[in-house]
Structure 1
Amino acid sequence: MTVSKNFEKLYKTELDGMQYEFTNKQDAIAQQISQFWAHSQATGDVKAYLEGDEGHDYAKIDKWVQARTPFTDPPNEKLAENDEVYIIGNRASFDVAQYDKASSAGMSMIHLLALPRKRVYNGVSLNKENVYLIDNMIDLFKSNWKKAEFRNKVLAHQREAIDNAKGSKDDEGYRLALKHYEELESSIHQLQAEDFKFGLHLFPDQSIPHLHLHIIAATKSMRKYSTSHHDQKTKDALEVRDMIRNGKVQVPTHDTTTTVTEAADCTTEITICECSDGCMVIAENGRFEKPDNLEICMEEYSKRQQKLSQS
């Protein structure tokens, strides 16, 4: 089959910006996590979603925590699952030729999603208590990828995504996608789990505000017909996990946050939180740090709490 010059140009444009690793983005990860938690409603909204409080008054911000999302309740079709997480296929076709906008396509000829069953918001809400979910999702994928039955399910899903993409089944984009599917069909059983990368789209880059892990076959042969538009915003999930575990980003738990105003030696409103590793920190100007006046602030806070309990 001859590929038209227009499609050849489209594929080349995407390949020119293609990434095969999503690592070395620590600064961006830290910034996005800090910016999210700097919002006054972050802790309450994350906790409300986790607890299923759909009557809660969530902040009206684009891509923010919502009462319900398309991923809140597990979809019927699961490629693999355990008690805590499950895997589904990305609905988009892998071939940019099937879309008016290249960004609408999948990121690889194999692009899966892993999700937690519990109501966990975006990756910015992971802390030392629940970041193990990343390992759980990756382990579920790796253990199942060894099974031919699972790989065949993935193959069937990728064909279904091609058939469900918008556009006529007689147009060149569809015919190209089917031709490229034959390449996937002939090579899928040679792929190893090590050929996959695991990414997160952190707030505000996510499409759906429920934690989901992107599982992407990231070899050159698997990405050559797919979009590169999401590469820059894709953060390596293991890098995010390690930054949280090693305390390189401070993510509060969701049950001990109090706002303190006009405390001694405090010039701005601050938020006192209990970190997942037990330390006390304050959020100010989008940064989580332990300032010199923390003890003074805590003393003032304790006095206020005593007055409230006596009133």
Structure 2
Amino acid sequence: MVPPPSLQLLLQEPQYTKLKTRCTERRKAFKADPAAQDDLAAYHRRDNDHVYSALPGLVPDSVVGKGDIPYFRSDSFFTDFALHQPSYVLSSSKESLIIGNKRSHDVRLASAEWDPEHIDRSTSAGMSYFHFMVIPKRKVYNIVSLTDTAIIHEMISHFKSFWAQPGAAQKCIDRINLAVKEQADQVLAHLDDKQSSSFNEVLKDVRKYAEECSVQLRKLSAQDFVFGFHAMPDASVGHLHMHVLPLSETFRQFSTYVHDTKTIPARAVIEVLEAQSERSTHVCTLFWSAHYFKTFIGRFSM
């Protein structure tokens, strides 16, 4: 079997510069889109009467107003996440949540062979055995709309603090195992006896691999993970979410790689934001310098 790609590649050239450029270009395009800027303002003020035409990743109309805790038109599936999905929250800080992935890490559970519509859904699997996310509690749309780096630094710090706690790894392993069980139960619900027998053989291998990964996961420190973002329109949810993934390919044997080329390292996003902030400050300084010079010359010539 061909070894899976290491996520270390995201931090190496030429991929790192390509992803950094991707971030810059997506931010530029988003800022230049008047409809997107109009939608963003409505999103932040939670305007549920606004018609969102250029802001992908919000909840579909079919779920608006539904459920015990209803979603609103300006929401995404990560809005007020702790209220809607408390069982997926592994840790909470003042600013952010660490949350589990609903889909399992293993593409073998998402094969067309087991799908009732015979559709291969392997791209919905996790990018690694360990694929968790950190999200802001407040409404923040995406890296394309960020104006500073504060929330990124906070989310990274939150995960590092969480991972240093005793029992953090086991907490994550339990969530991973539950995702496998829930997905397997969904598959088995529509299979006949013969198909179920075949699927259960696959499931044994899935669980064996997961157990092997869990042993290795407990050995990792916070420095063994990469933090990454998907820039809209690549992200599936219209709420900032930072993917947390182990760098080692050990955890990727049966995961999807299709999202690798759009996963922008947090470090690259921070560099882009800081560079843009410096340019804005420089332009502002030049403007006021010119203004004061013009004022001074005007007074001198009177």
TM-score (structure 1 length as normaliser): 0.71
1:243 and 2:272 aligned: yes
Shift of 1:148: 2.5
Greater per-residue strand proportion: 1
Letter of the 1:44 partner, please give it. Answer: D
User: Which residue of 1 is the match for residue 154 of structure 2?
Assistant: 136
Distance across 2 between alignment mates of 1:64 and 1:73: 13
Alpha-carbon distance, 1:31 to partner? 1.1
CA shift, 1:60, in A, is: 4.9
Report the counterpart of residue 215 of structure 1 in structure 2: 244
Of 14, 20, 41 in structure 1, the residue corresponding to residue 8 of structure 2 is 20
Alignment correspondent of 1:110: 130
Distance across 2 between alignment mates of 1:60 and 1:232:
24
- Report if aligned partners of 1:49, 1:120 keep a CA contact under 8 Å in 2: no
2:27 corresponds to which residue? 33
Counterparts of 1:46 and 1:60, CA distance in 2:
9
Q: Name the residue aligned to 1:146.
A: 164
Is the contact between residue 133 and residue 244 of structure 2 (CA under 8 Å) also seen in structure 1?
A: yes
Equivalent-residue separation in structure 1 for 2:271 and 2:252 (angstroms)? 27
Summarize deviations over 1:22-78 as a string: whole Å, max 9, x none: 232222111111111221122222222122222223225644796111101123131
Higher normalized helix content (fraction of residues)? 2
Residues paired across the two proteins, number:
243
1:88 to 95, 99, 102: 99
Structure 1: stretches of 5+ with no match in the other structure: 1-7, 251-274, 281-289, 296-311
How far apart, in 1, do the equivalents of 2:138 and 2:282 lie? 24
CA distance in 2, matches of 1:162, 1:155: 11
CA distance in 2, matches of 1:173, 1:124: 40
Deviations 1:177-209 (A, max 9, x none): 101111123222211111110010101100111
Identical-pair percentage: 29
- Residue 80 of structure 2, aligned match among 68, 73, 83: 73
Are 2:187 and 1:199 equivalent residues in the alignment? no
8 A contact 1:30–1:249 mirrored in 2: no
Which of 151, 164, 175 lines up with 2:182 in the alignment? 164
C-alpha contact 1:18 1:228 (8 A) present in aligned 2: no
Residue 122 (structure 1) aligned to one of 142, 149, 152? 142
Asked if the contact 2:6–2:247 (Cα under 8 Å) also holds between the matched residues in 1, the reply is no
5+ unaligned residues in a row in structure 2: which ranges? 11-15, 60-72, 112-120, 189-195, 292-302
RMSD of aligned Cα (Å): 2.5
Larger CA deviation: 142-151 vs 114-123: 142-151
Listed one character per residue, the Cα deviations across residues 88-134 of structure 1 (whole Å, up to 9, x for unaligned) are 01111111111123212101111101100111101111112xx2111
One-letter identity of the residue aligned with 1:76: P
- Change in Cα spacing, 1:41 to 1:134, as seen in structure 2 (3 Å) is same
